[in-house]
Amino acid sequence: MTILTSKDIGSLVRKARKAQGLRQDELAGVANVGTRFIVDLEAGKPTVQLEKVLSVLAALGCRISITSPRGLDPAGEGHEA
């Protein structure tokens, strides 16, 4: 699945949560975030905290893969110049 927007992430989280039979408050507890955060995330709020999003995705068993632009070697870069 290609994710391009915060709404795409929210939709994925909602589908994965429902497929696993979890309520929003249950997912919040497992991911160690608040229920309000889950509500906002599923609604596609663009300003949610990245670390919490990663925690929710991990709790659901989701993996993230990022494809870098052609010719860019992210492993070879320690920091920006």
CA distance 46 to 81: 29
Does residue 48 fall inside a structural domain?
yes
Whether residue 10 is contained in a domain is answered as yes
Q: Give residues with Cβ within 8 angstroms of 76, minimum separation 6.
A: none
Residue 38 within a domain: yes
Confirm whether 65 is domain-assigned. no
| Residue 40 counted as domain residue | yes
Number of domains in the chain: 1
Residues 6+ apart with CB under 8 A from 3: 9, 12
Q: Biggest alpha carbon distance in the chain?
A: 47
Write the CATH number for 29.
1.10.260.40
d(CA 31, CA 22): 12
Q: pTM of the prediction?
A: 0.83
Q: Which domain holds residue 41?
A: 6-59
| More confident of the two residues 81 and 31 | 31
Q: What is the pLDDT of residue 46?
A: 96
Q: What is the pLDDT of residues 7-65, one digit of tens each?
A: 999 999 999 999 999 999 999 999 999 999 999 999 999 999 999 999 999 999 999 98
CB 62 within 8 A of CB 16: yes
Establish if 18 belongs to a structural domain.
yes
32 within some domain: yes
Is residue 74 within 8 Å of 41, Cβ to Cβ?
no
